[in-house]
């Protein structure tokens, strides 16, 4: 899975690197502090109290959201997984909360080379939730805080209260930089790799990122199965510049991936790795399924320098323009269902449907947005 060495003599790289110097004078639209007194049921409502809520999944009760709160991108920092109760509007930490408890004794859902539970620098990015073949609920979280690994949890419920019990991890090769993950019913997963994270830096940014921004095929999707231990299978048709969001069809035969720097999403045959279809979307990010079986894809449509500024200033609420698209999984036909820029929040990286609303998260900032959603495609 090792990527080819990067040659720094590329003139295009230096032209783009010079653009990075403009970040000194670049910013995103000003965003005021989160308004905790805003009307929760208003058309576009801020929900305060989060920390960089990059990914969101709805839990089986159809009332609670699991939110991935990443730390500072590109630098060691702590984050967490959180539960958000949409009825009481309360946020509770799901992990870490000290020593993980519960789970089925002796059951390991990761690889044998996993080096123990996450530490203080646990920093989750993409997440996935799936009911396993044995009936239990599994959560996978991409952890950028322990080097790079995918953590496995069991989702438990006692009464009305959810909890997470850590069940193991999978550690990819050193060069792999994972963004998103989608679980298989057998406990395996398919994940997206962005760029070579062992590449040297230029102007404080990885040359792997620079390559991906120039359209070089730095990323791919890869599959891991429990029986494979440390083996990973690349889906060849997924190779592209900076892979991001990833989802799996219900029958697990088809994979959907966001090729962010290629400005497209792809539909890929899982067995052969062949590309079945493509659709153009500007800088697509995370994917989720809505209740009618359509894909919801977040798209960052704002200026690229503003985007880099927001990445370098993770933690500040960013006003970067974005759109949400509904995608037919058969034809990849697109329908824009929401577009926004500026206050109260920009840079949405995920849209999760719950009844007649979308809950929008971002890789940066202290809030998520709740916006109206029509379940019916036009």
Q: What domains lie within the chain, and their CATH numbers?
A: 34-372 (2.120.10.30)
Q: If we measure between CA atoms, which residue out of 226, 211, 223, 215 comes closest to residue 262?
A: 215
Mean pLDDT of all residues belonging to the chain:
88
Over residues 193-197, the mean pLDDT reads 95
Nearest-angstrom CA–CA distance, 136 and 340: 38
Q: pLDDT digit string (tens) for 73-92?
A: 666 679 999 999 999 999 99
Cis status, amide bond into 229, omega within 30 of 0: no
Calculate the CA 134 to chain-centre distance.
26
Residue 281 has pLDDT above 50, yes or no: yes
Q: What is the pLDDT of residue 21?
A: 40
When pLDDT is cut at 50, 70 and 90, the band that residue 24 belongs to is very low
**φ, ψ for residue 340 (rounded to 5)?**
-160, 155
Residue 5 has pLDDT above 70, yes or no: no
Residue 69 has pLDDT above 90, yes or no: yes
- Give all strands of the β-sheet with 161-170 in edge-to-edge order: 124-131, 137-143, 149-158, 161-170
Residue 184 has pLDDT above 90, yes or no: yes
Q: What is the pLDDT of residue 17?
A: 46
């Amino acid at each position: 899975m090792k990527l080819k060495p990067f040659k720094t003599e590329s003139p295009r790289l230096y032209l783009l690197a010079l653009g990075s110097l403009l970040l000194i004078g670049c910013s995103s639209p000003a965003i005021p502090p989160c308004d905790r007194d805003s009307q929760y049921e208003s058309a576009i409502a801020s929900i305060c109290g989060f920390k960089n809520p990059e990914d969101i999944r709805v839990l089986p009760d159809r009332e609670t959201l699991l939110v991935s709160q990443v730390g500072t991108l590109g630098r060691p920092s702590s984050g967490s997984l959180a539960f958000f109760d949409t009825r009481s509007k309360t946020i509770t930490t799901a992990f870490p909360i000290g020593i993980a408890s519960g789970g089925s004794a002796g059951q390991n859902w990761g690889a044998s080379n996993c080096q123990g539970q996450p530490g203080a620098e646990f920093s989750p990015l993409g997440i996935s939730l799936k009911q396993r073949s044995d009936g239990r609920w599994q959560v996978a979280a991409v952890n950028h805080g322990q080097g790079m690994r995918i953590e496995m949890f069991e989702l438990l419920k006692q009464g009305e209260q959810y909890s997470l019990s850590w069940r193991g991890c999978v550690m990819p090769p050193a060069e792999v930089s994972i963004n998103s993950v989608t679980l298989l019913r057998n406990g395996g997963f398919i994940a997206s790799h962005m760029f070579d994270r062992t590449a040297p830096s230029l102007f404080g940014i990885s040359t792997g990122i620079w390559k991906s921004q120039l359209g070089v095929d730095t990323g791919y999707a890869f599959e891991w199965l429990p029986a494979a231990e440390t083996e990973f299978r690349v889906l060849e048709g997924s190779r592209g510049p900076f892979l991001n969001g990833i989802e799996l069809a219900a029958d697990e035969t088809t994979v959907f991936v966001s090729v962010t720097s290629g400005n497209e999403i792809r539909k890929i045959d899982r067995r052969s790795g062949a590309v079945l279809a493509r659709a153009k979307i500007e800088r697509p990010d995370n994917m989720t399924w809505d209740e009618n079986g359509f894909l919801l894809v977040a798209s960052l449509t704002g200026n690229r320098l503003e985007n880099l500024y927001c990445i370098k200033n993770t933690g500040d609420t960013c006003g970067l323009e974005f759109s949400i698209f509904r995608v037919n999984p058969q034809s990849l036909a697109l329908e824009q269902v929401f577009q926004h820029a500026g206050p109260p929040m920009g840079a949405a990286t995920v849209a999760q449907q719950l009844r007649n609303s979308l809950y929008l998260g971002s890789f940066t900032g202290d809030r998520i947005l709740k916006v109206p959603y029509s379940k019916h495609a036009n």
